[in-house]
Structure 1
Amino acid sequence: MKVVFMGTPEFAVPSLRALADAFEVALVVTRPDAVRSRGKSLEPSPVKRCALELGLPVLEAARMTDDALAELKRCDADVFCVAAYGCILPDEVLTMAPAGCVNVHASLLPRWRGAAPIQRAILAGDEETGVSIMRIGQGVDTGAYCAQASCSVPGKTTSELTAELAELGGRLLVKMLPSIVAQTAPWREQDESLVTHAAKISKAELRLDPSDGALENARRVLASSDAAPARCVIAGKSARVTAAAAPVAPDGAVDAPGEGTYAISHGRLLLGCAGGALQVVSLKPDGKREMDAAAWAAGQREHAGAWGRLA
């Protein structure tokens, strides 16, 4: 079986590796080198790095130009496989391979169609999420799916859940591809009455807020990323909370802090929220390195004070 693979971020790498182990990958299509970290130099995408490591041919394309389309046609692939490529594919690409174009989507469709299914599942408090092997069509994640696999959500960060779903998706894609190419896969249309949408996460959504519950704030910390970190103001200074636990009870040596106040006791940093307290496990004050809460607390003169939402 001959496959063309399209993907860009780390999420797509396990799918590429699984395909390369099982089938002939004729071409890997990924977005061009870009500034991907705090440095100023261009860096290859994780998929490009993986493809080069595996000795696979790479086409860098931000959109499907005539030259890119010609390259795809020359591959004469049986099927195109996509995992978080990051570009809209024209109809010509969707129908170019005999078995069409299939996608690894990081949710249990029809729940969480869209750009941020993993973070939305965390923020919503979903008990489980998963991956779907779906056909790519005209709408955003509206195509039929032929297989799904699930995993639990509670307590997992965005990066942890992304890594787990990436591995799950790669295995499921390879399992289903022979039946997809043979036209025997059991395709199922999505139930439109069950659709939820996973819009891109904004920075404002992940700002911690004392007027919200401790559990809601804890989910913001789990869902946070470098692009949209969980931030707040503690003792008059802004910081990113990188790990937290909620809800928590006081340890007996200190009363539970009220809404909008913090308390330090035996190295624990508690942020009072509506109906409970959020325990900060680690944080990164602006302009400083990341540290655990005990180290931060040791440097504070006041063991109680105010905290609030970042303006």
Structure 2
Amino acid sequence: MKILYAGTPSVAVPPLAHLAERPGTEVVAVLTRTDAPVGRKKVLTPSPVAQEAQERGLPVLKANRIDAELTERIRGLGADVAAVVAYGALVPRAALDAVPHGWINLHFSLLPQWRGAAPVQRALMAGDTVVGASTFLLEAGLDTGPVVGTMTDELRPEDTAGTVLERLSRTAAPLLADSLRAVVEGTARPTAQQGEVSLAPKLTAEDGRVRWMDPAVAVVHQVRGVTPEPGAWTRLDGRRLKLERVVARPDERELAPGECVLRGDAVLVGTGSYAVQLTTVQPAGKKIMDAAAWARGRSTEDEVVFE
């Protein structure tokens, strides 16, 4: 089975590695987005998928848009089927038709839930307790094609969007490989998506701003969903303070929304219901530090109220 693999970020690396090492499969080429500026110095850097492909000696095609010329190159690869994992660009109809058995997308949700660019992040922010992955036949619509296979995974108390995506990228890799094989061999039975549709648009920095008037449970879900990207944050004295995991403290109910106090080793912040406890913080221009150490470093006379 000859496969064209399309993907870009680190979450797309484990499925590529699995396909490259799976007996009976051959990755004939890897399609990824062009090099992007990384870090403060904005150094042009190949995508994680491009780096993995290069290390494995696989041919790499780099493009942010699949045009007519690239479509013809894809047609000439001789791939039986194409696999897509977070490539980051639309695949036009001509390119879909350029591969005999079509394109199979691995999406990290139980479709039709959370169609879009940030399914795991939106699921955590909504308070879902079960996440999963689906493989489906790519078509013109946004994650609307018929489903080939699914798998589920229960969330763990310490999970963030980052840990869930890392885990699913590994555990769902065999699902993708099996789906590709079934489609090529004609044993797949794709089924139309059924159930309530929910959308998962790409997160922005504003999605990470904590709303202290919200109930504590909502704050916990929000922080989990935006960690590590775009990151949770609040404002203090007009400057941004980044937050990592927060813990619900239903035993602490007297603090006003945004009011922050240090009690023993616990840094507590009021919400619209009860308090949450901060674990680590990152003041502007500084490194991540323990929340209690940060609080002790401030003047004890200062009243701390997050904006």
Using structure 2 for the length normalisation, give the TM-score.
0.93
Aligned equivalent of 2:214? 212
1:19 is aligned to: 19
Query: 1:212-245: per-residue Cα shift (whole Å, max 9, x none)?
Result: 1112111222122465221112466530112211
Distance 1:145 1:214 in 2: 36
Corresponding residue SS for 1:42: strand
Structure 2 partner of 1:279: 277
Moved more, 220-229 or 102-111: 220-229
Corresponding residue for residue 121 of structure 2: 119
Match of 2:183 in 1: 180
- Aligned counterpart, 1:263: 261
Q: Deviations over 1:94-114 (max 9, x none)?
A: 122221111000100010011
Write the distance in 2 (CA, Å) between the matches of 1:25 and 1:71: 15
Partner of 1:93: 95
1:32 aligns to what? 34
- Cα 1:150/1:303, change in 2 over 3 Å: farther
Within 5 Å, give how 1:138-149 maps onto structure 2: 138-149=140-151
Structure 1 regions of 5+ residues with no counterpart? Answer: none
Give the corresponding residue for 1:166: 169
| Contact kept? 2:83, 2:180, Cα under 8 Å | no
Give the CA deviation at 1:287: 1.5
| Residue 300 (str. 1) matches residue 298 (str. 2) | yes
RMSD over aligned CA atoms reads: 1.8
Q: Deviation at 1:175?
A: 2.1
What is the match of residue 5 of structure 1? 5
Q: Distance in 1 between matches of 2:202 and 2:269?
A: 27
Number of residue pairs aligned between Structure 1 and Structure 2: 304
**Percent of aligned pairs sharing the same letter:** 34
**8 Å contact from structure 1 (residues 248, 279) kept in 2:** no
**Does the CA contact (< 8 Å) of 2:129 and 2:154 recur in 1?**
yes
Are the aligned partners of 1:236 and 1:306 in contact in 2 as well (CA < 8 Å)?
no
CA shift in 2, pair 1:249/1:237, >3 Å = farther
TM-score by length of 1: 0.92
Give the stretch that moved more between structures: 238-247 or 43-52.
Answer: 238-247
Q: Which runs of 5+ in 2 are unaligned?
A: none
Matched, 1:81 2:83: yes
Q: Can you list the C-alpha shifts for 1:58-109, whole angstroms capped at 9, x where unaligned? A: 1111112333222211211110111111111111111222211110001000
Q: What CA distance in whole angstroms lies between the structure 1 residues aligned with 2:161 and 2:276?
A: 19
Shift of 1:248: 4.4
Q: CA deviation at 1:207?
A: 1.1
CA contact (8 A) 2:216 2:276 kept: yes
Offset of residue 272 of structure 1: 0.7
